[in-house]
Amino acid sequence: MTAMVKTFRARDTRSALAAVKAALGPDAVILSTQEVGGGLFKKPEIEVTAAVEPPAPPAPTPPPQPAAPAPAAVHGRARYAGAGLEPPVPPNLTPKPPPDPQGVVADELIALRSVVESMRQQMRQQALRDSGSSLRFPEPVMRLYEHLLSRGIEASVAEELLRLSAGAHGTQPGQLWHSVRELLSERLVPSRAPWLGGQRRVIALVGPTGVGKTTTLAKMAARALMESKLKVALVTVDTYRVGAADQVARYGAMMNVPTRVAHDAHELARSLEAYAGADLVLVDTAGRSRQDEIARQAELLRVVPGIDLYLCLSAATGGRELLAAGKRFSALKPSRLIFTKLDEAAEPGGIISALGPVGRPIACVTNGQRVPDDIHALTTAQLVELVAGRFEPPAAPSVTQVEH
Ligand SMILES: Nc1nc2c(ncn2[C@@H]2O[C@H](COP(=O)(O)OP(=O)(O)O)[C@@H](O)[C@H]2O)c(=O)[nH]1
Ligand SMILES: [Mg+2]
């Protein structure tokens, strides 16, 4: 009788084993496991091959026979290690595995975890070698490097952080971790919350489509009204998408603030003149992705002197996309950054990548759809924790510089 062998893929070991158990039952035995696909910024999947013996057919009534010795009890992994190759065991005599299938799966799980963890480590070390680095990290420091990668910080950025930190402050892991955070705090500069009072401001929110510009504008307007009692006015130049102007008009009506639609630079200038008495004018724009569209938008917005552009980028898109978007929108010369959708960002450390091309202060972040609750002005310490997370530095030897 041949064992049934099946292969399952899932995003993690737990789900893969659950699928094995659901499809093949608790008697299934894991034959192999491996990480497949994925890369530094896409999580690999776990592929598990498992086998189970098909249910035994009902035993025919055996003719009376002389007593024979029972075959040796074989169970668990050994039973299927050479699936299909072992001499068949009479079905009615097949011994059952121990009545603790959960324990078997738990053992497999522990074994799988250690296999997966060591493969991950190998991949990350390979990534470091591929980057042509002259730095070689001893194991404890490697853990900090891996921690930074697990936060979504791009490999080249993580390596630069460790290299600069090691150069400036020494290489003991605890010291390195401290230095990395210091370096991050130099880059992650918060600005005053846009909804606080002060000088009159005209702020246009720019950025790719769907990142949450209009929702962020509504949150900012509501906070300015409620917390700072500012006179707020809204203008939209997003006449491109169907319904976009209505979206802003609806927010305006709900908050009882004046709203205008501007179809061109001339109308934008007139709208801003009309709102000369407002403390805060917020301008909504259409999402742009192509370089020529971004350039045209820059022309339109720059007609009005004194307009500040705040670039909205979704933290949920990951470091590589944030870097690309930052580069595309740096042509607009934004004066501030806003990171949206932190609630959907599994690896928020990627936001540091946008600060390369757009090294500007961070005005605020958003972490949900609720207006106005889900918008926050973070301190430097909060931004650093957002990017670098928490890490327990191991007691360890130092980084060694290796000459090629
Ligand atoms: N999860 C989450 N969704 C958000 C956030 N900000 C906006 N959204 C949602 O993202 C979608 C697009 O938002 P919108 O403001 O129209 O984006 P725009 O095209 O950039 O103006 C809407 O469904 C919003 O509710 C946020 O911080 N977190
Ligand atoms: Mg919009």
Residue 70 lies in a domain: no
Let me know if residue 69 belongs to a domain.
no
- Confidence (pLDDT) at 345: 95
Number of neighbours of residue 66 by Cβ within 10 angstroms: 4
Shared domain check, 364 and 312:
yes
Same domain, yes or no, for 164 and 206?
no
Provide the number of structural domains found in the chain: 3
Q: pLDDT tens, position by position, for the chain (404 residues)? A: 566 778 888 887 778 888 888 888 877 777 766 777 754 334 678 888 877 776 655 544 444 444 443 333 333 333 323 333 333 433 444 344 455 555 666 677 767 766 765 676 566 566 655 655 555 667 767 889 999 999 999 999 999 999 888 887 777 888 999 999 999 999 999 999 999 988 999 999 999 999 999 999 999 999 999 999 999 999 999 887 778 888 999 999 999 999 999 999 999 999 999 999 999 999 999 988 788 888 888 888 987 888 999 999 999 999 999 999 999 999 899 999 999 999 999 999 999 999 999 999 999 999 999 999 999 999 999 999 999 999 988 764 544 444 44
Please check whether residues 291 and 156 belong to one and the same domain.
no
Does residue 92 lie within any of the structural domains? no
**Judgement on whether residues 206 and 275 belong to the same structural domain of the protein:** yes
Q: Which of 72, 85, 71, 79 minimizes the C-alpha distance to 97?
A: 79
Q: Are residue 142 and residue 26 in the same domain, yes or no?
A: no
113 and 151 inside one domain:
no
In a domain, 71, yes or no: no
Distance in angstroms (rounded) separating the CA atoms of residues 143 and 128 = 13
Q: Do 359 and 279 fall into the same domain?
A: yes
pTM of the model: 0.69
Q: Determine the residue of 369, 375, 378 to mutate for testing ligand 1's pocket, defined as the one with the most ligand atoms within 8 A of the Cβ atom.
A: 369
Question: 153, 188, 223: which is the final residue of a domain?
Answer: 188
Ligand 1 centroid to 352 CA: how many Å? Answer: 21
| 355 found inside a domain | yes
pLDDT for 184 equals 96
Asked if 125 and 137 sit in the same domain, the reply is no
Same domain, 37 and 111: yes
Which residues span the domain enclosing 172? 131-188
**Integer CA distances (angstroms), 374 to 47, 282, 340, in order:** 38, 18, 10
244 is a domain residue: yes
Does the beta carbon of 210 sit less than 6 angstroms from any atom of ligand 1? yes
CA-nearest residue for atom 15, ligand 1, is 212
In a domain, 253, yes or no: yes
User: 164, 188, 212 — which closes off a domain?
Assistant: 188
User: Distance from the CA of 393 to the center of ligand 1, in angstroms?
Assistant: 37
Same domain membership, residue 159 and residue 245: no
CA of 377 to the centre of ligand 2 (A): 21
**What pLDDT does 296 receive?**
85
Say how many Å lie between the CA of residue 30 and the centre of ligand 1. 43
Considering the domain architecture, whether residues 120 and 137 belong to the same structural domain is answered as no
Residue nearest atom 1 of ligand 1, based on CA coordinates: 368
- Co-location of 116 and 2 in the same domain: yes
> Is there a domain that residue 269 lies in?
yes
